[in-house]
Amino acid sequence: MADPFTIRLVLSFVTGFIWITLLTILAERFGTKIGGAIAGIPATMVVALLFIGITQSSEIASASTTVVPLVVGMNALFTVIYIFFARHTNLILSLAGSLAIWGILSFLLVLSNWSSFSWSIVGYIALVLISYYFLEKRFNIKSQGKRALKYTAFQFLLRAFIGGSLIFLAVLMAKIGGPLLGGIFASFPALTVALIIITRLHHEASYTEALLKNFIIGGTINVVIFVAAVRYLYPVLGLANGTIVSLAVSLVAFYLGYHLIIKKMI
């Protein structure tokens, strides 16, 4: 029988492979508002929490959600920092600078031994509101419409490789990096970094900014709602039913978030 961690690595790669490729194509077909909202469907989070539940227990999977909302908020802040740097330097330096600051914040979070889910939610709300202020008001990022592209097999494979590899490496380093590095890489913004790299390869900077803005402000709400549902439903409903109901709740949040928040942004 295959080692459980090997199975998780394979599932992580396949999820990233399929999800990020599909997501970038949908954003190009329908515009960054819909693309940003779809990015918030918690595909990678479902795999991560479900795997913890299968290999350990539903109670441990529930408990592992404690810091997730705060981490999602930190990833929103990472996006703001990246866009600030990207407006003043090239892709490599802006990614390196924003990831360095994210790494310092993650290091401090790991050292803090954070244990409050309620304060994690408060932290998420505060960081997303700060991100909203900069992305919507200060940076004045405007949403983009659909793009007409003729896709090649190489483009599909490149997007799939980037998306799958980044999530694969984040999961791998979270396992082998020890308590400190492992804790940092467990919160690595792999999806966000993949979206940045892929969209910058094919589009101008303003398109990347628009997709990130809609994802961070509207899409991440779905992730946090899914995580909160998992936290309270896994111990009661078990893994299968808990995942189904949590996903259903998240999809309702996706619909409401798109119509009440994302559609009203510039």
Tell me the helix, strand and coil percentages in the chain, rounded to 5: 85, 0, 15
| Structure confidence at residue 112 (pLDDT) | 86
Q: Identify residue 258 by its one-letter amino acid code.
A: Y
Angle, helix 220-260 to helix 117-132, in steps of 10 degrees:
50
| Structure confidence at residue 184 (pLDDT) | 66
| Structure confidence at residue 80 (pLDDT) | 96
d(CA 199, CA 208): 6
d(CA 204, CA 89): 14
| Structure confidence at residue 145 (pLDDT) | 84
Q: What is the pLDDT along the chain (266 residues), one digit of tens a residue?
A: 567 778 888 888 888 888 888 888 888 888 888 888 888 888 888 888 888 888 788 888 888 888 889 999 999 999 999 999 999 999 999 999 999 999 899 888 888 888 899 999 999 999 999 998 999 889 989 888 887 777 788 888 888 888 888 888 878 877 776 555 655 676 788 889 988 998 998 889 999 999 999 888 877 888 899 999 999 999 999 999 999 999 999 989 888 888 887 777 76
DSSP for 130-147 reads: HHHIIIIIIS-PPP----
Q: In which element (H, E) is residue 196 found?
A: helix 190-202
| Structure confidence at residue 149 (pLDDT) | 72
| Structure confidence at residue 170 (pLDDT) | 79
The Cα-based distances of 253 to 21, 43, 129, 219, 225 in angstroms read 23, 14, 18, 9, 7
